[in-house]
Structure 1
Amino acid sequence: MYVRRLAVIAVWLAIAVAGAVFGGSVYDRTQSVETLPAGAPAAVAQDRLDAVAPEGERVVAVISGRDVGAIGLIDSVTRTAFEIRAIPGVAEVEDSYTTGTRKISTDNRSSLVSVELKPGLSDDEALRVADQVSAALRRIDASEILVGGELLAEREFGDQAVRDAAVGESVALVCVALLLIVLLGGLGAGLLPLAAALGAVAATLLTLTGLARLLPVSEYAVNVVTLLGIGLAVDYSLLMIARFQQERSADPGASPADLIERTVATAGRAVLVSGAAVAAALVGLFAFGDPLLSAMAMGGALVVVLATAAGLTLVPALIATAHRRIPARSRWRRRGPGLLARLAGFAQRRPRAVALTTAAGLLALSAPLFFVEFANSDVRVLPRSSEARQAYEATQQKFADPPKQPLTVVVEAGPEQPGIPELFAAMEGLPGVSDVYVRSELPPGVSVADVVPSGAADSREAQQLVTALRALDAPAPVLVAGPAAELTDARRSVAERLPVALTIIVLATGALLFALTRSVVVPVKAIAMNLLTLLATMGVLVAVFQWGWGASVLNFEPWGALDLTTPLLLFVFAFGLSMDYEVFLLARIKEEWDRRTATDAAANDRAVLAGITAAGPVVTTAALAIGIVFLGFVLGGLVAVKEIGVGMAVAVLLDVTVVRGLLLPATMSLLGRWNWWRPGLTTPAPAPRIPVG
C-alpha cells in the first residue's frame, strides 16, 4: 500500500466518481420488495386470488370543505367521475353521486371517491394512470382534496426514503467531519476517514445499481446500507490512524513504509476480523428467507466487504500519502486516561458489584419487551405531512363505516357444493367478524369471501381470526389472504427461523473471536454481553416508539407497534458493530496478555487495563462518530428508519459505556486467568503471541 499508494488512491477515486455519477440511479431502480418468504400461506392465497379474481390498485380521494348536498359540488364530482371513467386503465369509479354507494362523512362535509385501476398493469403503468386520476380528482370544486391509496403511499415511501437518506447523510457527514477534525488534531487527518467512508458508500451504490438490474432492491435497503457503510468505514479508518500514530510514537526513526507495514499487520488484522464478524452477522439474515431481509443482507454484505477493503487498502494509501499531516498524538491522548480506561479502573476495583449492577440495569431496560407489539409498516409510518397518510386518516376519522382491508378467504370448491354455504355461515359466527361478503361471478370450482374484521386490519384480534379461519372444518382446502394473514405468517416464519439465524451468527462470530484470542471463555462472554445490549436496546425502542415516550422530541407519532423487521435488522447491525468494538478492545488486551508471563495473579487485570487504555480512545471516538451517523437518520420522516437510527445510537451508547467500560473489565477481573482457557489447556497461560489489533 505504501509503494503503490498513488495507484490505489487513483483506483478508489475512479470508483468514487463512477459511484457519484451512476450510483445515484439506484434510487430510480428500487422497488417494493415482498415481506413474506416464498411459499408462505398468505402469499399462496394472494397468488390464487389474483388468478381467479384479480383486482387492480385503488386510488382514494376524500373531498372536503363543502356541504355534500351543494349543487356545485354534485355537478363537479359527477363531471369528474365520468371523465375518470374515460381514462384508459381505469376499471371502476365509486362515488356518492353517480353510483349507488353512499360514501358521506358523519358531518356531511366530506365524501369519498374510490377509483379501481385495471388488473394486470405494470407498476409504471399503474402509477401513470394513478397520476392522471389524481390530476382529475384535484379539479373537483372543493376547498380540500386529499388523494391517497396503497400505490401512491408506496411511492411516497420511496420518495421519502431518498429525501431522508440525502438529509441524514449530509448532516451526519458534516458533523462527523467536524468531530474528527477536532479529535484527530488536523484537517488532513480528520477528513481521511470521511474519504474512506465516501469511497465505500459510492462503491456500494455503484454495485447496487448493477444488481438492481438482476434482483429487487428496496429503497429501505439503500438507506440502511449507506448508514452502515459510513459507520464501518469511519471505525476502521480511526483504528488504522490510531495504530499508525502509536507505531510512529514508539519508533520515531522508522520509515513511513515500515510504519505502514506494522499498522496493517496489527490494526489491519483487527479490521479484517471485525469485517468478517459483521459480514457473518449479516449472513444470518438470509436464514429468514424473507425477500426484504435478504435484500438488506445483500446490500449490507456488500458495504461490509467494501468498507473492509477500503480500510485495508485506501486508508493505508492515504496515510502513506498524508502522513506528515497526521499529528503525532491525537487530542484524545493528550488529556490522560480516556473514559473507558477510567471506567475500567473503577470496575476492576469492585468487579462483583459492578458486574451485578450493570447486568441488572441492562435487564431492567429490557423489561418493556414483555409488552412489545410487532406489525408490518403501512401508511402510518409516513410523516404527518404525507398526503397519502392524511387521506388514510381522513377516511378512518370522518366516516362512520370507513373502508377496511378484509381477510379474503379462497375455498377450492364451488359455492353450490355441499358444505360451502355452511362454511360461510360458520365464518360469520367467529369472534371478531364484522361482516362476510361472498363474491359472485367467479370461475367454476372456487368460492371467495371477504371477511371484515371488527377491529384494525392487522390487530391481534385480526391475527387470531386468521388462525380461526384456517382451522375451520371445511369440505375443501381454505386459503386466507390479507394484511393480518401476512403479518401472522411473517411472525411465524421469524419464530421458526430465528434459531437457525442465531446459530449461524453465534457460531461464526464465536469462531472468529476464538481465532483472535485462542480462548473459549472470551467469545462466549462477548456474545452474552452483546445479547444483553440488544435486549436493553429493544426495551428502549418499545418505550420510545410503541409507547411514545419522547415522540415529540423525535418528531413522530407512535402507531402502537414496532416494525417487524426492526428487531431483526437491529440484531444483526448492532451485534456486528458490538463485535467491532469487542474486536478492537480484545485485540489489544490479547496483545498485552501475550507480553506478560502471567506468573502473578494480577497479570490479567494489568493486561485488561493496558489494552483498554490503549484502544479505549479509538473505540470511544468511533462510537461517538457512528452515533452521530445514526442520529442523522432520526431527522428523516419515516418512522421505520427512525427506529433503526435511534436503536443503533442507543445500542452503541450502551455498548461503549456500560458494556465495554464496566461489564467487560469487571467480568474479566472476576474470571482472572480463566479468561484464556481453551480445551487442552490445563493451566491457563498466555498463548504464543499473535500480532493482532
Structure 2
Amino acid sequence: MLYWLRQRLGRLRPEEAAVLALLGRWTATHRMWVLAGWSVITLAGAILGGAVYDRTQSVDSLRPDAESMVAQSRIDRLDPQGERIVAVIAGRDFNAMALVDSATRVMFDIRAIPGVASVTDAYTAGSSQVAADDQSSLVVVELRPKLSDDEALAVADQVAAALRRIDAPRVLVGGELLAERTFGEQAVKDAAIGESIALVVLCGVLTVVLGGLIVGSLPLAAALAAVAATLLALSGLAEAMPVSEYAVNVVTLLGLGLAVDYSLLILARFREEREAAPGAPVAELLAATTATAGRAVLVSGLTVGAALAGLFVFAEPLLAAMALGGAVVVGMATVIGLTLVPALIAVAHRRIPPPRGARTRPSAGSSRRPAPGRPGLLARLAAFSQRRPAAVALTVTAGLLLLASPLFQITLANSDARSLPAATEERLAYEAVERDFATWAAQPVTVLIEAGATEPPVRALLQQLRDLTGEKELDLRSDLPGDVTVVDLRPAGPASGEPAQRLVRDLRALDMPVPLLVGGPAAELIDARESTAARLPIAVAVIVVATGLLLVALTGSVVVPVKAICMNILTLLATLGVLVAVFQWGWGSALLGFEPWGALDITTPLLLFVFIFGLSMDYEVFLLARIKEEWDRRTANGRIDNDRAVLAGITATGPVVTTAAVALGIVFLGFALGELIAVKEIGVGMTVAVLLDVTVVRGLLLPSVMSLLGAANWWRPAAPAIRSRP
C-alpha cells in the first residue's frame, strides 16, 4: 500500500509537474482574465457576503439524538414553555415605598404587553425572590411559547424597556434570549475589529519584511479575496444548514491565515526562481514556481482539509457546520494560492524586489540557485540544534510537556452569559442571579418518565427522587397527559455544577421498569462530554491516517510522518496547557482584558485540535517539501548527507515560514483582542500554537530529531518483487 502510494503520489512525476507548470504558465499568460474573475468574486463577497451575519442563528452543540435533547424535545411538545427574561432590581431596600409603588406599576404594565405569558416577582406575585440583605429582588418574565425568534426578541425589548422604568439605582435585565442576541452582535463586532486590525498591521509588517508596499500588498489582496469569497460561500451555506456567528468568526480567521501563508510561499519561491534564472520570461518563472511551491500548497490544503474532515466526524451541529465551512475556506485559500497569487505576481513582478542579501550563483547541472545571504532565525536555530541534537530534543520535549501539565486540571463547560464581556448587562444579570437567586432561577434537572404519576413504579421512583434531593427541591408538573410524568429537581449550586451533574449520573444509573430520560443543562454538559469522548478516537484516527498518508505521499518516508504527527501533538498539548492557565486559572487575564469564569468552552479543545494540527502540518509541509527536494538532489549526485539536506531545506524555506508565522500570529492576535471569551480562546490559542510551532518545534525539535535519526528518516518499505511470467 505504501509503495503504491509513493509511486502514485510521492515523487512529482514529469506529467504531474507538467500539469502544475501548465497551470502556472496559463495563469501568467491569462492573468487579466484570472484577476477579473477573482475581482468579481471578491466584489460579490463584499456586497452579498455580509448577509451571512443576518442568516446566522444559534446552533445546538449537541446532536438531536442525545438523551438530554430527546428529553427536552419531548417536554417541549408536552408542556411548551416560552423564553424567559430575568431582571435583578438592586441598590435600594426592597421595602422602600417609592420602589414598591414603581415596581408594582411596572409589573402590571408588563403583564399587559402582548406576548407575555406570566410575571413572577416579589411585589405583585407574592414570591419570596428577595436577596438575604433585602437590597435586591428577582423578576422572571415568561413569554408565550408560540412566538417566533423575531417576535420573542421584540417582546423582550418591550419588557426590558418597561423594567428599566423602575425607580431603582440599578436594574439588570438578562436571560438566555437576550444573551444570545448580544453574543451574535458582539461576534460581528469582534470580527470586524479583528480583521481590520489584522489587515492594517499585516500591511505594515509585510511591507517592511518583503521590501516594498507593492509586494507587501500582494498577500493582503489574496487575504481580502479569501475573506470575501468565504463570506459569500458561507452565505450560501447558511441556506442549507444552520451557521452560527461563532462559526463565521472562526472560519474567517482560518481562511485569512491560510491565504497569507500560501501567498508568502508562492511569492518566496518566485523570487528564488527569478534570482536563479535572471531574464527568464515571467510565465516560465511562474511555471517553475507552481511546479514546486504549488505542490506544497496543494498538499497543505489537502492536509488541513483532512483535519477538518476529522472535525466533521463529531457530527454535532455546531462542529459539523464549522467543519463544512472550514472545508470551503481551505479549498478557497488553496485555489487562490494556485491562481490569484500567480496572476498578481505576473502583473506586479517588476515591482517585486529580490530577497535581501541574495546573490545568484550557478548550481550543479543546468539549473541555477540563489546563494543564501545571512541565515534566518530558523536556520540559526536548526544549526544550533544539529550541533547537540540529543540535548536539544530532550530539553524541548520536556519544556513542551511542562507547558502541557495544566491539562491535568482542565474543566470544560458550555459557554453561557459569562462568555460575554464583563460589563455586558446580560452577563451582570447572570452573575447577580447566580450569586443571590440561584435557588429560584437556576434551570432544573428535568426527569421525563414514560408512565403516569399514579402507577406504582413511578410512585416508588418519586420517593427515590425525594431521598436524593429533598422534598422542597422536587416539583411535579401538572396539566400533562396521564401516561407521562415530568419532574423538575433543583440540586444545590449552579445549573450545570458538580452537584447537578452528580444527580444526573445517579438518575441515569437507576434500574427502572419504566423508560426514563434526564434533561437540563447538567445533562446536556454530560452528554456533550460523553459524545466527545466516544467520537474523539474516531476523529483522531481520521486526521492522523489522512495526514500521515499525505506526508507519505510528499516524502516517500514512513518515519517522517510519524515524527511530524508526534510533534504536532506536542504543540497541541502545550497550547491547551497554556489556555488552561490563562482562561481557567486567570493567569494574565488582566493583560488580555477579560474575567475568567473557571472553565474552557467545551468546543475549544476540539477546534484547536483540528486547527493547530492542520496549520502545524501546513508549516511541516512547507519545510519537508524543501528538505525532501534537497535530499533528492544530493542523493542523485551520490552524496548522502541528511544533516546538510535538512539544514539547506530549513535555510531556504525558513524565512517564508517565519514571515508566515508572524503574519498568522498577527491575524490571530487581532481576534484575541475581541470581547467574546470563546473567540478570544481560539485567537490566543492559535497565536501560542503558531509561535511555539515555528520557533521551538520547527526550529529546534524538528532538526534535532532528524539529525538523531539520520538516513533512517527516509526509510520506507522495499518495493515488492515483480516476478516475470514464464
Q: Do the structures match in fold with TM over 0.5?
A: yes
Find the partner of 2:424 among 386, 411, 425. Answer: 386
- Equivalent position SS for 1:660: helix
Q: Structure 1's 331 and 220: CA in aligned 2 closer, same or farther, altered over 3 A? A: farther
Unaligned runs of 5+ residues in structure 2 are 1-26, 360-371, 721-726
Structure 1 residues 332 and 301, CA, compared in 2 at 3 Å: closer, same or farther? farther
Q: CA deviation at 1:133?
A: 1.1
Q: Which residue of 2 aligns with 1:548?
A: 586
Separation in structure 1 between the aligned mates of residue 83 and residue 626 of structure 2, nearest angstrom: 58
Aligned residue identity for 2:95 = G
Cα distance in 2 for partners of 1:436, 1:485 equals: 17
- Does residue 54 (structure 1) correspond to residue 80 (structure 2)? The answer is yes
Contact between 1:186 and 1:326, CA under 8 Å: does it hold in 2?
yes
Q: Which residue of 1 aligns with 2:510?
A: 472
Matched-pair contact (CA < 8 Å) for 1:432–1:461: no
| 2:702 is aligned with 1:676 | no
Query: Counterpart of 1:186?
Result: 212
CA contact (8 A) 1:106 1:400 kept: no
Q: Return the match for 2:342 from 287, 311, 316.
A: 316
Equivalent position amino acid for 2:661 in 1:
A
User: What residue identity is the alignment partner of 2:717?
Assistant: P
SS of equivalent to 1:443: coil
Equivalent residue, structure 2, for 1:123 = 149
1:10 to 36, 43, 64: 36
Amino acid at match of 1:324: R
Aligned to 1:176: 202
Q: In the alignment, which residue of structure 2 is the partner of 1:108?
A: 134
Letter of the 2:549 partner, please give it.
A
Deviations 1:280-326 (A, max 9, x none): 10011111111000111111111111011110000000000000111
The 1-side partners of 2:650 and 2:488 are apart by 62
Q: Describe the SS at the equivalent of 2:473.
A: strand
Q: Which amino acid aligns with 1:302?
A: V
User: Does residue 542 of structure 2 align to residue 504 of structure 1?
Assistant: yes
Describe the shift of the 1:181–1:376 C-alpha distance in structure 2 as closer, same or farther (beyond 3 A).
Answer: same
- Report the equivalent of 2:279: 253
Q: Distance in 2 between matches of 1:667 and 1:498?
A: 28
Displacement of 1:116: 0.2
Per the TM alignment, residue 431 of structure 1 is displaced from its structure 2 partner at its CA by 7.0
Secondary structure of the 2:658 match is helix
Change (3 A) 1:71 1:580: same
Q: How far apart are 1:574 and its partner, in Å?
A: 0.6
Name the structure 1 match of 2:627: 589
**Counterpart for residue 690 of structure 1:** none
Residues 302 and 433 of structure 1: CA distance in aligned 2, closer, same or farther (over 3 Å): farther
State yes or no: 1:142 paired with 2:168.
yes
Match of 2:333 in 1: 307
Under a length normalisation based on structure 2, what TM-score does the superposition of the two structures give?
0.92
Cα displacement (A) at 1:76: 1.8
CA distance in 1, matches of 2:267, 2:306: 25
Give, in whole Å, the separation in 2 of the partners of 1:77 and 1:237.
Answer: 61
Q: In the superposition, relative to structure 1, how do residues 286 and 400 fare at CA in structure 2: closer, same or farther (>3 Å)?
A: closer
| Structure 1 residues 238 and 255: alpha-carbon distance in aligned structure 2, compared to 1, 3 A threshold | same
Opposite residue 449 of structure 1, the aligned amino acid is V
Contact 1:434 1:451 in 2 (8 A): no
Q: State whether structure 2 residue 243 is matched by structure 1 residue 205.
A: no
1:428 paired to 2:466: yes
Residue type at the aligned position of 2:563: K
Q: Which residue of 2 aligns with 1:572?
A: 610
Structure 2 Cα separation of the partners of residues 433 and 28 of structure 1: 47
TM superposition shift of 1:140: 1.8
Q: CA deviation at 1:511?
A: 1.0
Q: How many Å separate the matches in 2 of 1:634 and 1:342?
A: 30
8 Å CA contact retained: 1:433, 1:454: no
CA drift of 1:400 comes to 7.8
Partner SS state of residue 490, structure 2? strand
| Aligned twin of 1:687 | none
Q: Does 1:621 align with 2:647?
A: no
Q: Secondary structure at the match of 1:429?
A: helix
- 1:597 Cα deviation after fit: 2.5
Between 303-312 and 401-410, report the one with greater CA deviation: 401-410
Whichever residue aligns with residue 238 of structure 1, its letter is L
In structure 2, relative to structure 1, the CA distance for the partners of 1:266 and 1:287 (3 Å cut) is: same
Q: 1:101 to 1:332 in 2, by over 3 A?
A: farther
Per-residue CA deviations over 1:428-482 (Å, capped at 9, x if unaligned) read: 3227998111122211111111111212221233222211111223331111111
Q: CA deviation at 1:617?
A: 0.5
Structure 1 unpaired stretches of 5+: 683-693
What is the alpha-carbon distance in structure 1 between the residues aligned to residue 209 and residue 471 of structure 2?
Answer: 62
1:201 to 1:369, Cα distance in 2 relative to 1, 3 A: same
- Please tell me whether the aligned partners of residues 396 and 402 of structure 1 are also in contact (alpha carbons under 8 angstroms): no
The 3-state SS of whatever aligns with 2:125 is coil
Counterpart-to-counterpart distance in 1, 2:81 and 2:617: 48
Q: What amino acid is aligned across from residue 668 of structure 1 in structure 2?
A: M
Contact 2:357 2:374 in 1 (8 A): no
Determine the C-alpha separation between the residues in 2 that align with 1:248 and 1:572.
Answer: 36
Q: Matches of 1:361 and 1:328 in 2, distance apart?
A: 38
1:107 shift after superposition = 2.4
Please list the CA deviations of residues 561-582 of structure 1 after superposition, one character each: whole Å capped at 9, or x if unmatched: 1111001000000100000100
TM, length-normalised to structure 1: 0.96
Shift of 1:331: 7.5
Matched residues in 2 for 1:605 and 1:265: separation? 25
Letter of the 2:345 counterpart: I
- Residue 598 of structure 1: how far off its partner (Å): 7.5
Asked if 1:296 is matched to 2:318, the reply is no
Q: Using the alignment, how far apart are the partners of 1:518 and 1:632 within structure 2?
A: 38
Q: Matches of 1:591 and 1:335 in 2, distance apart?
A: 20
- What is the alpha-carbon distance in structure 2 between the residues aligned to residue 86 and residue 656 of structure 1? 62
Q: What is the distance in 2 between the residues matched to 1:335 and 1:442?
A: 80
Paired residue secondary structure (1:366): helix
Q: State which of 574, 580, 596 in structure 2 corresponds to 1:558.
A: 596
Question: More displaced, 72-81 or 210-219?
Answer: 72-81
SS in 1 for 2:141: strand
Q: Is the 8 A contact 1:45 1:480 kept in 2?
A: yes
| Mapping 1:204-223, distance limit 5 Å | 204-223=230-249
Identity of aligned residues (%): 67
The root-mean-square deviation of aligned C-alpha atoms, in Å, is 1.7
Secondary structure in 2 matching 1:288 = coil
* Among candidates 493, 498, 505, match of residue 460 of structure 1: 498
Residue aligning to 1:689? none
Secondary structure of residue in 2 paired with 1:21: helix
2:382 paired residue among 306, 328, 344: 344
The one-letter code matched in structure 2 to 1:327 is P
CA gap of 1:443–1:525, structure 2 versus 1, over 3 A, is same
Contact 1:264–1:312 (Cα < 8 Å) also in 2: yes
Find the partner of 1:244 among 270, 274, 277.
270
Q: State the AA in 1 paired with 2:432.
A: A
The aligned residue for residue 362 of structure 2 is none
